Amino acid sequence: MFDELKANNLCKLFTDLPGVKLPKQLTEAIKAFHEAQDTPIAAPQEQPKDVSARLLQLATQLAAEDYERPARNQLKANAASKLYPAARDAVPEVTAQLSKQFTPAADSFTEAVKKLPEDLDESSLIRAGSEALKALETAQEASKTITMIESFTKGVISEVYSAKQRPKGVVAGDPLKITKPSTISEYQKLVDANPSNLPKGLRQNLNVVALTAVQNGVPLVMHSIEDIAREYERIRNQMPTDYISRTNQNMPRLKNM
């Protein structure tokens, strides 16, 4: 069944990306969908002078208004049916453009975090002095780009592809979207990364997965969903036999590690 909210979210996922030129096919599909939502029924330009003709015109207009909702719903559904394949086709090109933003942001973030106190809070920052505060500003600025791209990949997983279309092992909450851990131990630390572990003043301004990765020597790498599937399979081969399946979960979990 057609889900208008989901289709709107899909459009927003792509149109909100800064510095990205969307493929023509997707641009046209988004435009067609919005037009199906917003275009009103054309009102008559002129009213006939004859009363009988005006009555017929009014009756026709009222009848059209009665059928507008089902007709518009069908029009929107038709437009949405072209929107999803256009979005899937656009993902590789959009990802390639975003990777050019991710790499310098990740490099900047990594270098800045290395200058921050390991036990990061307001007190340690004050003790560390102006250089640490400057590094924090740099990390926060780079974090905006990292989080934006992480959110896009999450949206691709949850909005663009259905559960049946996604590669096995790919879930929206996986930290592999932006990291490349080498070991199961590193992966577990990224899985457990939580904004609540940061002071309140820093939670919204630092990407906690990226921060945890850098603090544990894990590279920041932007992954496509195909990359995530391969990385997950590599990590999965290191998992213990009591691994809990991630099927239908928002975040991977291990136990007894």
Per-residue model confidence (pLDDT) at position 217: 95
Q: 71-128, pLDDT tens digit by residue?
A: 778 888 899 999 999 999 999 999 999 999 999 999 999 999 999 887 787 778 778 7
- Residue 129, sorted as left (phi over 0), alpha (psi -120 to 50) or beta, turns out to be left
Counted domains in the chain: 1
79 domain residue, yes or no: yes
250 domain residue, yes or no: no
Per-residue model confidence (pLDDT) at position 246: 45
Per-residue model confidence (pLDDT) at position 28: 97
43 domain residue, yes or no: yes
249 domain residue, yes or no: no
pLDDT band, very low/low/confident/very high, at 65 (cuts 50, 70, 90): low
Q: 128-177, pLDDT tens digit by residue?
A: 788 888 998 999 999 999 999 999 999 999 999 888 888 887 888 899 99
Q: What amino acid is encoded at 45 in this protein?
A: Q
Report how far residue 76's alpha carbon sits from residue 30's, in angstroms, rounded to the nearest whole number.
11
Per-residue model confidence (pLDDT) at position 190: 94
Q: Which residues contact 161 (CB under 8 A, 6 or more apart)?
A: 88, 225
Q: Domain range holding 152? A: 4-236
Q: Is the pLDDT of residue 60 over 90?
A: no
pLDDT band, very low/low/confident/very high, at 205 (cuts 50, 70, 90): confident
Per-residue model confidence (pLDDT) at position 209: 95
> Which has the minimum average pLDDT: 5-9, 33-37, 68-72?
68-72
84 domain residue, yes or no: yes
Which residue(s) pair with 179 in the sheet? 220
User: Closest Cα to residue 4, out of 41, 39, 36, 42?
Assistant: 36
Mean pLDDT, the chain, whole residue set: 85
Q: Is the pLDDT of residue 68 over 90?
A: no
246 domain residue, yes or no: no
194 domain residue, yes or no: yes
